[in-house]
Each structure stands twice: as structure tokens, then as C-alpha cells.
Amino acid sequence: MYLASAKGNEEENDMNRKTSNDHWREKLSAEEFRVLREKGTERAFSGAYDGETGPGEYVCRGCGELLFDSDAKFDSGSGWPSFTSPIEGTNVLESEDRSHGMLRTEVSCGNCDGHLGHVFSDGPAPGEQRYCINSASLRLNEREE
């Protein structure tokens, strides 16, 4: 689990978590709000980043917090962008999720508390982790190779 904030500013992080739903509704599309703020899940194979292979860094759609690097992205065949791990030192939090009659590990942005997706232990070696993330919760900052 990665807990250190890339920004390192606890007061700012607390403020972002407590931002009102009205603010989020103004800032996000309806789908982004449903995923990030209401813990929704986009339909498999419908997200913009499922098949994305370009280089860059993935940040939280809600607050811009650095989360994942394209070097950790792989095609899991699940229909959602999948990563082997978050960027070291980023603010990606994991918590128990017992919704829908299942026991899973939810992944959220530690800066704004936005729902990102879930992590499963069926990823590739060596870490065998699959961070299954909704495209609606991400924005890709492309980089040139």
C-alpha cells in the first residue's frame, strides 16, 4: 500500500477530501462524478484508456494527483486499464470493500478520496498485482519518448 502524498501537504489533502459534492458536480462529467464520488464502475471495454499504449503518467481526474506510470500498464484483457503498481511514493490508498456481496480491495486517491477501482492478486509476476482502474477516474499526461 502506498500512503505517502506526492504533494506532502496534509492540510491541503484534508481540504480536498472534504470538498462538497456541488463542487465535484461542477468540475466532473456525470460519468466521472458517478465513478469518482459515488464509487461507480464504468462498463468493461468502454473506457478511453483501456487500449491506450502511449507513454505518460496517469493522474487522478478529480484532483490531478500523480498515480500510475504507463510503464506499469499492461493488457489484462479485463476491459479496464490495468497496472502492476502505482508510482512509488504516490498517494494511492487501499481499503476493504464488501459491496455487492464480494470481498475486494478498493483503490482510491488519497488526496481527494476519489474512487479509482480495485486491486486484485492475479497480475503478472513478480508482484502479481492488477490495479484495475476506471478510465473515468484518470487523465493521461502524455510524454514524448
**Mean pLDDT value of segment 81-92:** 92
* pLDDT score of 3 more than 50: no
In a domain, 95, yes or no: yes
In a domain, 31, yes or no: yes
Instruction: Give just the sign of the alpha carbon dihedral 123, 124, 129, 132.
Output: negative
**Mean pLDDT value of segment 88-100:** 90
Q: pLDDT tens digit string along 134-145?
A: 999 999 999 987
In a domain, 2, yes or no: no
In a domain, 1, yes or no: no
The domain that holds 35 is classified in CATH as: 2.170.150.20
Reduce the DSSP state of residue 71 to 3 states and report it.
helix
**Mean pLDDT value of segment 115-121:** 97
In a domain, 5, yes or no: no
Total count of domains within the chain: 1
In a domain, 100, yes or no: yes
128 φ, ψ (degrees, to nearest 5):
55, 30
In a domain, 127, yes or no: yes
Q: pLDDT tens digit string along 30-53?
A: 999 999 999 999 999 999 999 999
- Per-residue pLDDT band at 4 (split at 50, 70, 90): very low
Closest CA to 95 of 83, 87, 84, 107: 107
According to the model, what pLDDT value does residue 14 have?
A: 47
Instruction: Give just the sign of the alpha carbon dihedral 72, 30, 110, 121.
Output: negative
Just list the catalytic residues: 132
**Domain region containing 112:** 10-142
Measured distance CA(20)–CA(43) in Å, rounded: 26
Reduce the DSSP state of residue 54 to 3 states and report it.
coil
In a domain, 4, yes or no: no
- The helix or strand, by DSSP H or E, that contains position 73, with its residue range, turns out to be strand 73-74
